[in-house]
Amino acid sequence: MSMDGPIYQRLMDGYDENDYDQNGISGERLAFRLNEIAKIGLTNDKGSNRPGFSEEELAVKSLVSEWMEEAGLEVNRDGAGNIIGRLSGSDPSLPTIMSGSHVDSIPNGGHFDGPLGVLLALEVVEAWKAIGYHPRKSYEVIIFSDEEGARFNGGLLGSQGMTGDYDIEELKKLISIDDLSFEEVLKSVGLSVESYEKSLRDFSNVEIFVEVHIEQGKRLEKLDLPCGIVNGIAGPYWLEVNFTGKAGHAGNTPMDDRTDALVAASEFITKVSKLPRSINDTSVATIGKMEISPNGVNVIPGEVKLFVDIRDIFKESRNQLVDTVILEAENIAKEHQVSLSYTKKMNNPPVPIKENVQLLLEDVLQEHGITPVRIPSGAGHDAMIIGKQTDIAMIFVKSIEGISHNPSEWSTLNDCVQTAHVLKGFIEKLNEK
């Protein structure tokens, strides 16, 4: 295997081959493959630039498809560009188990977000081939198209195509960042609107989809654990909130004769940061965008528009937090004698992960000497879309300093390979059921 490339040597440095190269799993093979993918779309900052439905994404799909075929999988591409590598089980009457992720990236992203989940799913097949294990249930390794959404400022188009979770007329209206229509972008990689619509899959014979992903947070690092169990994927609820007072001259308007929209908004921002913990420990609320009008140094702000991103893995508590945020806004507006309006901009339901699935993963982690910990996913994933059609499981891998969507994104090979063993063990336990 070649040692050239942006990340191979760093992955291999400090890898405990004697501890983790067992039961057919190879750390060096995983490091080599992560490195080969990292070469495609490599940026000047040593990051990844592989937008969805790009030549770079297509090149990685082609490369991984070759590895799938070498491992003995039957490989197909559906009408949304998703790659499906299938290993038929010994009992065709049993449901299929799916695992995978994506290989596209944001501009100048990292090398683990997406590709790691694909390669660990494939590593399970490689391990089975090495030890002569054949599953009772059919197993599929999936590469979803355009998870990150860099072309259309959206995302999840591959999994949405597979599940039918889209409005085709709205998709036809999309214009990419390079000023191409949805149809033109698909055509550039040998697809079409017609093929996209035909990518719909019947999930009645799919038992579960398992996605491995870097944590995008610091909990595992703080606990010094290689991987953990995702207990749910948060559903985002976006509110646009407007406080309207009266603009005026900053020098001529007395302090006791002002209706300052920004003062009211500032108190609201402070209160919102404290509200989630009054609900539970899995909900979050963020105000990351704000517009001030007239936005002059010497003008009292007459209007403030801000956006509240509210998330939780539980729908009831998420909605309770939404109601609490609105009530707080109303009270603050009344106290400061400014008017208030608010509009719902997004309402995606949380996707729960079944308790029996989490308990089975706990058993596998304990068998591998890893203390089980459950972690909510605040970000969206393909599993969130697939979870509307069938059961899902997610495993998080420790990410150093919680960095993601950045060239500095990093997970050690020791942690990645330990997670490969967990994924393999989990899928084998599902085959025993």
**So where are the chain's domains?**
8-234+350-432, 235-347
Domain 8-234+350-432 sits in CATH at 3.40.630.10
Flag whether 213 is marked binding: yes
- State the pLDDT at residue 293: 97
pLDDT at 283 > cutoff 90: yes
pLDDT at 78 > cutoff 90: yes
What is the 3-class SS of 139-180, one letter each residue? Answer: EEEEEECCCCCCCCCCCCHHHHHHHCCCCHHHHHCCECCCCC
- State the pLDDT at residue 1: 55
**Helix runs in 248-407, H state only:** 261-274, 276-279, 315-336, 355-367, 382-386
* Cβ proximity of 43 and 120 under 8 Å: no
For 366-384, write each residue's pLDDT tens digit: 999 999 999 999 888 999 9
Taking residues 140-156, report their average pLDDT.
Answer: 94
- State the pLDDT at residue 2: 55
> Do you know the residue count of the chain?
433
Taking residues 178-200, report their average pLDDT.
Answer: 97
Q: What is the C-alpha separation between 46 and 405, in angstroms, rounded?
A: 12
**Mapping DSSP to helix (H, G, I), strand (E, B) and coil, where does residue 122 land?**
helix
Provide the β-strand partners of residue 293: 303
The predicted model scores a pTM of 0.89
Domain 235-347 sits in CATH at 3.30.70.360
- State the pLDDT at residue 153: 84
Q: What is the C-alpha separation between 362 and 357, in angstroms, rounded?
A: 9
Provide the β-strand partners of residue 312: 235
Flag whether 202 is marked binding: no
- State the pLDDT at residue 3: 62
Q: What is the C-alpha separation between 313 and 249, in angstroms, rounded?
A: 46
Question: Between vectors from CA 369 to CA 366 and to CA 370, what angle results, nearest 5°?
Answer: 70
| Two tokens, residue 132 | 């002569």
- State the pLDDT at residue 378: 87
Taking residues 240-263, report their average pLDDT.
Answer: 96
Taking residues 332-348, report their average pLDDT.
Answer: 94
* Cβ proximity of 265 and 290 under 8 Å: yes
Q: What is the C-alpha separation between 101 and 112, in angstroms, rounded?
A: 11
Provide the β-strand partners of residue 331: none
* Cβ proximity of 103 and 50 under 8 Å: yes
Same CATH topology for 8-234+350-432 and 235-347: the answer is no
